[in-house]
Every structure is written in structure tokens, then in C-alpha cells.
Amino acid sequence: MRKLKTTEMNRLTIDEFKTAPKIPVVIVLDNIRSQNNVGSIFRTADAFRLESICLCGITATPPHREINKTALGSTDSVSWKYFTDTTIALESLHKEGYIILGVEQTNTSIPLNLFQPQKEKKYALIFGNEVNGLDEALIPLLDDCIEIPQYGTKHSLNISVAAGIVIWDFLLNLKTFSKEMQL
């Protein structure tokens, strides 16, 4: 066993990434305080070739030194838009045919391991503020909520960790591993 060299990893160039097929998932960040979390989510979106990211409210936007620390250049490859109000982003995504899923603990949220995304659908996954979660006013705008089952004393995860778990689960369930996706 040996580590692969960078030249052996078949990485896409930024131009190749922009024209390559994408997983039909958009990430919506609602009032995220930490620029490091934003950068980490950009990096995850690049790694799994997601469509785009919507940055909303107080969420910082590139270029930003703190975002760049964790994004490692992925702000150049992943498409993103800024919305002053998350409601506007959700309404726009609904009009484009996305199913809007909050990642939040609600009285009707579906455990992630029981949620089955459908291949022919497009999804927007919305992640809320690190302290308060999703804004209560957004809940009626969601098609559903999913949550990551947790069994310890803390019933929350860092947003970038939660995003990685949810995105990976979507990839597994959508079975997007194909030569075309080069995954």
C-alpha cells in the first residue's frame, strides 16, 4: 500500500468541474456565523460535485480569508449565489422544481437513515445557524425535514460535519457512483 500522488487522483480542473455532470443537490446556508464552516461546506460541495450553494442572510461570501482557509480553492469551482433573505432563496428553488429539505430536528422530521431521495428529483438541503438552527419562519416553506439520528448527550453536530454526513448519505442513496461522474 502507498499513498496516491496528486497526478494519480484524476482530479478535474476548475473548467472541467464547471462543465461536468453534477449531483442534483443545492446547499442552502441560513445565517451561518462561522466562515470556516462556510469554507468547509464549499469544499464538501466540490468533493461530491454538487450543483451549487446559496449563501443567505449573515452568511459570509467569497472572497473571504476565513472561508478560503477551509475551502482550499473550491469557491472557484462551486457555483454560488447570495440572498439577503433565505425565504427568497427557497422560493426561487421551489420555482425551479427543487424539493426543499430542512436539516433540523422537528416533531415530524424523518431520520436520515429512513429518508430515500429519488433519482429523478432535485433537492435543496437547508442548514441553519450554528446556535439556533433553522429560523422558525422557514419551517412552513419546507417540503420536509430530515435529521441525523444522534444518541449521546449532545443532540447537535457542527454544521460542516452534518452537511458532510447528509451529502454522503444522499450520494449513497442516489447511487451516483458511475464512470460518468468519475466517483
pTM, two decimal places: 0.93
Does the domain made of 23-174 have the CATH classification 3.50.50.60? no
Q: How does residue 127 score in pLDDT terms, banded at 50, 70 and 90?
A: very high
DSSP states of 101-142: EEES--TTPEEGGG----TT-EEEEEE-BTTTBS-GGGGGG-
Provide mean pLDDT across the span 168-179.
77
> What is the arrangement of strands in the sheet containing 79-83, beginning at the earlier edge strand?
79-83, 50-56, 23-30, 122-127, 98-103, 144-147, 110-111
Provide mean pLDDT across the span 112-133.
94
Mean pLDDT of the chain: 92
C-alpha cell at 54: 446559496
| Alpha helix segments (H runs only) across the chain | 14-19, 35-47, 65-71, 86-95, 159-174
The percent of residues above 90 in pLDDT, for the chain, comes to 78
Q: Is 182's pLDDT higher than 50?
A: no
The percent of residues above 70 in pLDDT, for the chain, comes to 96
